[in-house]
Amino acid sequence: MKKTITIDSKVENICAIEKIIDEVSDEIKVSSDIYGKILIATIEAVNNSIVHGNELDPNKKVFIEIFFEKPNLHILVADQGKGFDFSAVPDPTTPENIENVSGRGVFLMKKLADNLIFNDTGTQVELIFKI
């Protein structure tokens, strides 16, 4: 099973991602507890690509690839932005960052996915879930 989707960098396009996650979850029989993790982490990755990666430029694209290789579901999200140093993202749970409005996306993805892999430039993230 493999699905790909490309969206313009508009926040309202996230609903297309929700739909494809629903389809994939039905197809591979994802349990409800894992479904929530997949949905939230994927939406966070796509939102980060739209807002931070592509800086809400509707002319830039976000590329999503989903494939299932038992027992793992892989979700790759890539953008056309400049990238970022994922190792330098501050911990949002420390006292100096706890009240920051943003900066929780990578933290959430790490907590929800079984594995999280960024490419060298920080323009692509791979979320891996054990199904």
Q: How far apart are CA 128 and CA 53, in angstroms?
A: 21
What is the 3-state composition of the chain as percent helix, strand, coil, each rounded to the nearest 5? 40, 25, 35
The candidate with the shortest Cα–Cα distance to 74, out of 18, 9, 127, is 127
Contacts of 69 (CB under 8 A, 6+ apart): none
Say whether pTM exceeds 0.85: yes
Q: What is the pLDDT of residues 43-95, one digit of tens each?
A: 999 999 999 999 999 999 999 999 999 999 999 999 999 999 878 777 777 77
Domains of the chain: 2-130 (3.30.565.10)
Q: Quote the distance between the C-alpha of residue 60 and its chain's center.
A: 17
